Amino acid sequence: MNEYAVLSIHGIVIVYGLLLMTPVAPQINILKSRYPSTLTKRGQLTAGLAFVCFGGFTVSAHTLWMHNKLSEGASVCSGNSLLNCDGLIGNIAYNTDPLLGQPWGLIGMAAFTALMWLTLTIGKEPLSPQTPLFIRMGLGATIAGLPVIALLVSYEIKEGLICPFCTTAHIANIIALVGFFLLLKLQESDEWAPDIKKTSSRR
Amino acid sequence: MKKSVLTTDWLFLKETIGLMDRKGLGKIGENVKSSSFDLDASARTETGVIVMSMFFVGLLIVAFTTNPVPSGTQAGERAPIFSGEAYDGTSWNSFEFADLLDTSWTWNSTEDSPWIAVEFLDTDCGFCKSSAQEVGQWSEMYTSPQWPGPDVIFIAVAVEFVSESSRAEIVEFRSQYENNFRYVDDLDISIADDWDVAATPTYFLVQPDGIVAWNSGQGSDTLGWDAKEEQSISLNGFDDGRVQLNEAIEQLTRLHEGE
């Protein structure tokens, strides 16, 4: 299967998550019958974020797979002189993080797993006293991802290459940042949980 | 019976929390209470189980579908790819180490892909000068029809460790010692850094698929890589116990011959 066909699957999940965070969400929401909470603005935001984090996770896992495949000597994504993952993911000078020495794909998987946990927890317990903290943690984590993205983009500029898979993961982080910001704004407003009575947060 | 156990547990917990409060650990006591009785905690645990399952399933898929080889310059590791300008006896041209590799090579390949000997040298280094002629002879010997093993392509990477050097010096050195293989310009020591080379001369023998088979600068120069068994093996130094490049070539490229 062509690598860009696989990339488009990750991309579709992320784009769907992004759309769920926009005003078109009621028209495209396929979850509303199973999860009625996604009919609310809060529900749409958390569902959208969950899709974005899942797409970020899968594309990160794919880059880890590429990292391993390249170490075996295979070529996985080098069809174009500009759009070329092999030259970056396969380059030992850049393909691991400078602090832990772990592949960037693994770092991405761990980061998006943590964001996914925050998102699902916020969705499940919107009135918990910890929810504002979790939203801020998500926002902080995605902001912390920006310097990492800047570092990786600097590698791309240095090598004159663009890694489409890495870029997709970076975009997922930026969309997640926007999502957590919107959640924070919503949580500070009166529209946060009009569907839930305060007492129902304790079962 | 079950109820009484639960009641006892609750009384014990209440006592503990109360004790914590009295000792000025009210916050911790509150947290204990919260984690025991706040059902939000179960939502977090449930979510935690879901996302951790997702993480480990992802890892397992990657683990079962790949067989990663660590990158590096120790025997058994994948050698760093490099590129630069190389002098071939007439002019300086662009050079790609990757072009020499045959990534589909295995020990059982019927195709006779060449192995690669990489020498890091400094044109001002005495040991490099004293061995240069011999290395030149090996480069001819291991590509000659009389050599029964696979061809070995020699590449010299010229660094600048001792004192200031130049391309003119590299050209002169190559010609003085009658070397007929390519000399790559690494006067900025970027390739040497990637290959963890701290002294010259340092020799590497690289399999056709890019795996380092032998590194003279490794902790023990008697350590080689058996491509067939995919494990380290001990090499013999024919004269003084120290393994030279030619000895590594002769032992590793023909390791399982006659089996």
| Chain B nearest CA to A65, separation (Å) | 5
**More confidently predicted of B192 and A3:** B192
CB hemisphere CA count around A1 (13 angstroms): 7
Q: Do B71 and A92 touch (CB under 8 A)?
A: yes
This prediction's pTM: 0.70
Question: Of B149, B130, B129, B145, which Cα lies nearest the Cα of B246?
Answer: B149
Rounded to the nearest 5°, which phi and psi values hold at A146? -65, -45
The angle that helices A164-187 and A3-20 make with each other, rounded to 10 degrees, is 10
Do the strands B115-122 and B212-215 form a parallel or antiparallel pair, or are they unpaired?
Answer: unpaired
Rounded to the nearest 5°, which phi and psi values hold at A171? -65, -40
| Chain B nearest CA to A40, separation (Å) | 20
**A58/B contact by beta carbon, under 8 A:** yes
| Chain B nearest CA to A79, separation (Å) | 16
Chain A residue nearest residue B45, CA to CA: A121
Query: What pLDDT digit, counting tens, does each position of A102-156 carry?
Result: 999 999 999 999 999 999 999 988 888 899 999 999 999 999 999 999 999 999 9
Mean pLDDT of B189-205: 92
Query: Residue B94 in contact with residue B184, Cβ under 8 Å?
Result: no
CA dihedral of B20, B21, B23, B27, whole degrees rounded to 10: 80
CB-CB neighbors (< 8 A) of B46 in chain A:
124
Query: What pLDDT digit, counting tens, does each position of B141-151 carry?
Result: 999 999 988 99
DSSP bridge partners of B210: none
* Average pLDDT across chain A, whole number: 89
CB-CB neighbors (< 8 A) of B65 in chain A:
65
Chain A residue nearest residue B54, CA to CA: A113
Among candidates B48, B69, B194 on the partner chain, residue whose Cβ is nearest the Cβ of A93: B194
The domain defined by A3-198 folds into de novo design (two linked rop proteins) (1.20.1440)
Q: Do B68 and A71 touch (CB under 8 A)?
A: yes
Query: What pLDDT digit, counting tens, does each position of B68-103 carry?
Result: 888 889 989 989 888 899 999 999 999 999 889 887
Query: Residue B252 in contact with residue B234, Cβ under 8 Å?
Result: no
Mean pLDDT of B237-251: 82
Q: Do A68 and B51 touch (CB under 8 A)?
A: no
Number of DSSP helices (H) and strands (E) in chain B, helices first:
7, 9
Chain B residue nearest residue A61, CA to CA: B58
Q: Do A75 and B103 touch (CB under 8 A)?
A: yes
Query: What pLDDT digit, counting tens, does each position of B111-145 carry?
Result: 788 999 999 999 999 999 999 999 999 999 999 99
| Chain B nearest CA to A95, separation (Å) | 10
**A67/B contact by beta carbon, under 8 A:** yes
Query: b vs e for A61-76, b when ≥16 Cβ sit within 10 Å of the residue's Cβ?
Result: bbbbbbbbbbbebeeb
